[in-house]
Each structure stands twice: as structure tokens, then as C-alpha cells.
């Protein structure tokens, strides 16, 4: 697609983590909150849920900013096929980490890029396999009190103290676990016609 340096970039997310990740690309962008119901559909698999919500968020914001290139993203922790979202509360975070200890969890991180004006739409999934240590109850409690990761799917911040809870991480897009797979995002932005080098500041 021909380069479109005049198109503005919008991050369709209120996540501070995604905002910080996108800022690494040194691209000028604005942030818009997507109005999307994140309730899983009956029987919906975690990967399908993440893909659907990422695209729904991008489309919702693109409806308001039709001339812009819009990024939407979503992450769902996948424990043996069961979705784990953001715990929101301490008790739910405790329950999540207790369920995940000693287990392999796949963090399904989806990203979508939409531009209504050019009829562009792409989405992709960046799964991250994470092996949790066999955590004790006291360790879980200490971690949650220290980092309060109640706005993170799976109740752990791998970019912070949460890395101490893990045995291994296996993925092909290093920032996917934090919430926005930048390799895939850059690929889609180029496909949408955004010249990353011209836009970088």
C-alpha cells in the first residue's frame, strides 16, 4: 500500500501499559477509549475472545476517527482453555495465581489495525507461553501486596516484580506479554501505509 504519512495514529485503549509500549516507536499518536462490551460469548475460547475484542476495539474507535489508523488490542490469559481476565480485586487475584501455580498459561495477546477511510483491516494473535513456578500462598500474598496487579490479565506484571513468579517465557514478539506485540503492530502499520521512519520523532 502507498505510504500515507498524513494519516494520524490512534491507540484505541486506555491501558497505560499499551500507551508506554506504543510510545517506544516514537510515533505521534492520540489515545481514545473504545466503548466495547468485553463479556466473553458462551463457550468462546480465549484466543477467539482476544481476537474479537481487539478488532471490536479498533473498529469502535475507527467509527469515531474514520480518517485515522487505529490500533486495538486485547489480552486474555488462557489456563487449559479457560479465559482469565483482569482480576480487579485482591481476592480474585489470589485465586488466579493459586490456579496458575506450577502450570503453563498461554497469554493470548491480539492486535488489530483498522482505517475506515482506506478500508484497511488486519488482526493477528501473539500467543505467549508462560510457565509459572509452584508458588506458595504466602509468596502470592506478598507479591500482590507489593505490586497490586489487579488491572493485568493473569494477575502478574512480567515487566516488574511479577517476573519472579515465572520459570520460563516462550514467545516470538517480546512485548506481547506486556500487552501490545510491537513486531506485529509495526508490520500492520506498514501494511496500512504508515511510514514509521517518517513519522518517528
Catalytically active residues are 74
Which DSSP symbol is given to 32? -
- DSSP one-letter code for 103: S
Contact predicate 105/82, CB 8 Å = no
What letters, b where the CB count within 10 A reaches 16 and e where it falls short, cover 65-94? Answer: beebbbbbbbbbbbbeeebbbbbeeeeebb
Place of cell 484505541: 12
Residue 7 near residue 197 (C-beta atoms within 8 A): no
| b/e sequence 140-155, b meaning 16+ C-beta within 10 Å | beebbeebebeebbbb
Cβ neighbours around 193 below 10 Å, total: 17
Amino acid at each position: 500500500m502507498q505510504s500515507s504519512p498524513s494519516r494520524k495514529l490512534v491507540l484505541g485503549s486506555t491501558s497505560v501499559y499499551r500507551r508506554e509500549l506504543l510510545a517506544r516507536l516514537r510515533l505521534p499518536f492520540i489515545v481514545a477509549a473504545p466503548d466495547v462490551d468485553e463479556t466473553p460469548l458462551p463457550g468462546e475460547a480465549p484466543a477467539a475472545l482476544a481476537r474479537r475484542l481487539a478488532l471490536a476495539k479498533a473498529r469502535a474507535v475507527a467509527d469515531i476517527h474514520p480518517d485515522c489508523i487505529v490500533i486495538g488490542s486485547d489480552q486474555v490469559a488462557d489456563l487449559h482453555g479457560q479465559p482469565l481476565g483482569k482480576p480487579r480485586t485482591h481476592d480474585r487475584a489470589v485465586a488466579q495465581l493459586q490456579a496458575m501455580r506450577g502450570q503453563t498459561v498461554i497469554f493470548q495477546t491480539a492486535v488489530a489495525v483498522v482505517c475506515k477511510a482506506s478500508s484497511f483491516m488486519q488482526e493477528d494473535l501473539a500467543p505467549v507461553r508462560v510457565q509459572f513456578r509452584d508458588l506458595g500462598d504466602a509468596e502470592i500474598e506478598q507479591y500482590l501486596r507489593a505490586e497490586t496487579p489487579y488491572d493485568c490479565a493473569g494477575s502478574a506484571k512480567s515487566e516488574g516484580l511479577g517476573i519472579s513468579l515465572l520459570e520460563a517465557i516462550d514467545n516470538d514478539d517480546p512485548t506481547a506479554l506486556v500487552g501490545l506485540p510491537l513486531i506485529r503492530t509495526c508490520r500492520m502499520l506498514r501494511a496500512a501505509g504508515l511510514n514509521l521512519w517518517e513519522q518517528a520523532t
